[in-house]
Each structure stands twice: as structure tokens, then as C-alpha cells.
């Protein structure tokens, strides 16, 4: 009888652990940012969601916003 209860407790603990991994590892990248997940498998998320494995994978963020820069030239440059 005790073995049956231990099996049920083990299954319940496994399900709770799986839910914790999914909740803590869930990440959603906005369209103007790239999320790079590296570790077990390399993935790049841009405007979509993904799951990273805590403690085994790393999440880095890269901004994809436009940066304006002034370029000075000696002669005029047509822009049209």
C-alpha cells in the first residue's frame, strides 16, 4: 500500500516540476527584439514565443531598433 502511494506522489511531483519548468522558462520576444537561447540547442526568437530550460540554457536579448547615424561626405549624395 505504501509503494502505491509513493508512485502516485512521484508522478505528481514530476508533473509539478514540469509545470514549474514551463512557467519559469516561458519567454515571448517582441517584434523589435531578438531573443537568443543557447545551451542545449541554439534558437533565435523574433516576434514569437519559446521555452528555455532553466539552469541549462541561457537567454540573451538583442535590440533590433533602427539607429540613426549622421554621415558627412565631401560631395553631395543623391538620396532619392
3 CB-contact burial (10 Å; exposed 0-12 / middle 13-18 / buried 19+): exposed
Cα–Cα dist 57/11, whole Å = 25
CB 50 within 8 A of CB 35: yes
pTM (predicted TM-score): 0.63
Q: What is the residue whose three cell numbers read 533602427?
A: 66
Digitized pLDDT (tens) for each residue of the chain, 80 residues in all = 667 788 888 899 999 988 888 888 899 999 999 999 999 999 999 999 999 988 899 999 999 988 777 788 888 877 76
| CA 59 – CA 9 distance, rounded (Å) | 33
Amino acid at each position: 500500500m505504501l509503494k502505491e502511494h509513493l508512485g502516485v506522489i512521484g508522478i505528481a511531483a514530476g508533473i509539478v516540476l514540469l509545470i514549474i519548468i514551463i512557467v519559469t522558462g516561458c519567454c515571448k520576444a517582441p517584434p523589435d527584439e531578438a531573443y537568443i537561447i543557447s545551451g542545449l540547442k541554439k534558437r533565435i526568437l523574433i516576434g514569437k514565443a519559446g521555452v528555455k530550460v532553466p539552469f541549462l540554457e541561457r537567454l540573451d536579448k538583442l535590440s533590433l531598433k533602427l539607429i540613426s547615424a549622421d554621415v558627412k561626405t565631401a560631395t553631395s549624395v543623391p538620396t532619392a
